[in-house]
Structure formats: C-alpha cells, structure tokens
Structure 1
C-alpha cells in the first residue's frame, strides 16, 4: 500500500528517490516547476534531456507520458519528466492528466524508486483548476498498482495545499 503525504514547500528540496517534473514536451526547461528543477539540478539534467530528444524522443515527450533522467545536483536520485495537458473548457483531458501520474509511477517502478515527490501537474501555467487537479492526482495514485511506498505531493502555494488537503483528508 502506498502512503500519500502532502507537503507544502519546494519540490527541488525533497530528499526522495525521484521527483516528478511537470515538464513541457521539449524537455529543455521552461518556467514554474520545470525551470526550478533545471536550474537547481544543473546542466546534467539538460544534457540527458537533449540526448533523449536526439534519440528516441525527436518530436518531444507527448502529454501523458513520462521519462527519467538523472537528478543532477538535486537531493533526489532521478527526475521523472511528465507532460501534463493544457486544461480545456471544451474537451475533457482528464484521462491525459491521470496518465501523467500512472506513467510516472511506472517509470518509478522501473527505476526501483520507493519514494516519489509529485507537483500538482498541469495546475500552474496549464491552468487546470486546482480542485480538479487534486482530485485526479489523488484518485489516480490511490488506484495505481505500484511498488512505490510513499508518494509525496509537494505543493508550492496555499491554494494548492488546501486543494490537496481536502482530497487527502
């Protein structure tokens, strides 16, 4: 059984086996969580992302999928990059968002990770409503078949923390 934990703070400071990056499809860095992970983790992360783009991910990482790299100078061992969907008022993309969590946990299992820290995927610049993002994240992780022992939701702001607190009880 996986233990779900809520932490308010900075995901780049988490001492877990893996941290999940809410990446963009280019894998080459960006704003928000993605930019923070690349800045703090250092050039090793970007180098591995470029190598992935030069080999099997030439068109980038599609939404809902996940891939791992080194964590560079972060206190974690690995970064699992996943691309969340942009929220749409006219198209239900909930399954793509849930797939981010499932795919990240599959990668974590392949790596042998026992502790994983997730941000609120798609709830920032991709404008997914926090309450719904928290619902999808918590329900998906609870239902996942994984060997990960602890999933830590690391939430930067008060609103995200409150949304996840409501779902985690």
Structure 2
C-alpha cells in the first residue's frame, strides 16, 4: 500500500490528524516555552504542561534524556497524540541527536499505532540546527521508516518559514529519484485545512 509524505507550509498546530500525532521539539525539562513547543502549549491548553510535569517526575533524573521521546494526550489540538522529543538541554545539538529524535518519534508512533505523524524541522528554530542537515536526516530516515511501518500511512513535514519551505521543496526535487517506490510525495504550499487529508 502506498504511503504519503506531505510537505506543507503553515502552523503545525492546525493540522487535522484525528488518528495521528504531532512531534514536539522539546527539552530535557519538558518546559514548553519556546518556538513550536510554545505554539503547541498555547493551542493545546494549560493541562499539557501540567501533564508533562507529572510525567517528568517519574523519569530517571527527573528529565527526558536528549534524543528520547514520550507521548501525551493532545488537549485541544485536532490530533490524537503529542510525541515530545528532547533536544534543548543536550550538551551538543548534532546530527546524532536529531537522528535519534526522528527515529524515536517513528518508533513511538508505531508502538501507539498512529496512522499519521507531523514533524516540524526539529532543532532548526530555537537550537540553531542547520535546515539542510535536518532535511538530509529526515529524508533518509523517512525513506526507510515509512515504507516498513505497519500503522503509519502518512507523514507530514510542516514548515512555517517561507524561505525554509522553498529550500525544502528544492531539496526534495533533487532527490525524488532516491525515493522508495511505496512513498508518494505531496507538496502543499498553501497549508492544509480540515477535509483536505
């Protein structure tokens, strides 16, 4: 069965993924106060931060280790689940860390049987990770993980910045011949609204 990779521009918190989730680029303390995390916290409602505080208290060393992932309910967001990955707070923001975040998000999405998963460009906004390096990692990992996933049918990369969106489209066009035959690419520059997916 064909899988879909959608590249879109807009606000990731507005994506209507009733059976899916959003990946939240968080930090070791799971405090949602910057970038995409702050957007998620505002739209999901205050209980999300409270839930994360309770989850953190049960973790070793009272923190989410860099590169690791946990899931929570999504509050008022139009998705089933939030997958929080730990980026900020690591000693080094590098390719290995971002790769681990992407892989652990895919693994967790499969474990909890999500049918769709939306990523922002992890680490590029508040952590300063280069967008081109993120795209290279995301492309290679998605090309391997999405076709073999039992439950995931649709992965989205949602980019808010216009220049980064254009760079992403250029990046993908140069690599379409490397794409697994089971993945269909869908580019939506105008964003996604309910009923479109």
Structures share a fold, TM > 0.5? yes
Q: Please give the per-residue CA displacement for 1:45-81, whole angstroms capped at 9, x wherever unaligned.
A: 1122011111125431122111100100000111000
Unaligned runs of 5+ in 2: 174-197
Q: Please give the per-residue CA displacement for 1:124-160, whole angstroms capped at 9, x wherever unaligned.
A: 1111111111111111111224231111000000122
1:108 equivalenced with 2:109 (yes/no): yes
Partner residue in 1 for 2:155:
151
The structure-2 alpha-carbon separation of the partners of 1:34 and 1:107, relative to structure 1 and needing over 3 Å to count, comes to same
Partner residue in 2 for 1:28:
31
The structure-2 alpha-carbon separation of the partners of 1:163 and 1:12, relative to structure 1 and needing over 3 Å to count, comes to same
Unaligned runs of 5+ in 1: none
SS in 2 for 1:84: strand
1:163 equivalenced with 2:163 (yes/no): no
SS in 1 for 2:53: helix
Q: Please give the per-residue CA displacement for 1:86-135, whole angstroms capped at 9, x wherever unaligned.
A: 899xx782121111111001111111101111000001111111111111
User: TM-score if structure 2 supplies the norm length?
Assistant: 0.78
SS in 1 for 2:79: coil
Which is greater in Rg?
Answer: 2
Distance in 2 of aligned mates of 1:28 and 1:94: 23
> 1 or 2, which has the higher strand percentage?
2
CA RMSD of aligned residues (A): 2.1
Partner residue in 2 for 1:74:
77
Deviating runs (4+, > 3 A) in structure 1?
85-88
SS in 1 for 2:167: helix
Moved more, 57-66 or 20-29: 57-66
Partner residue in 1 for 2:52:
49
The structure-2 alpha-carbon separation of the partners of 1:161 and 1:112, relative to structure 1 and needing over 3 Å to count, comes to same
CA contact (8 A) 1:138 1:167 kept: no
SS in 2 for 1:136: helix
The structure-2 alpha-carbon separation of the partners of 1:140 and 1:9, relative to structure 1 and needing over 3 Å to count, comes to same
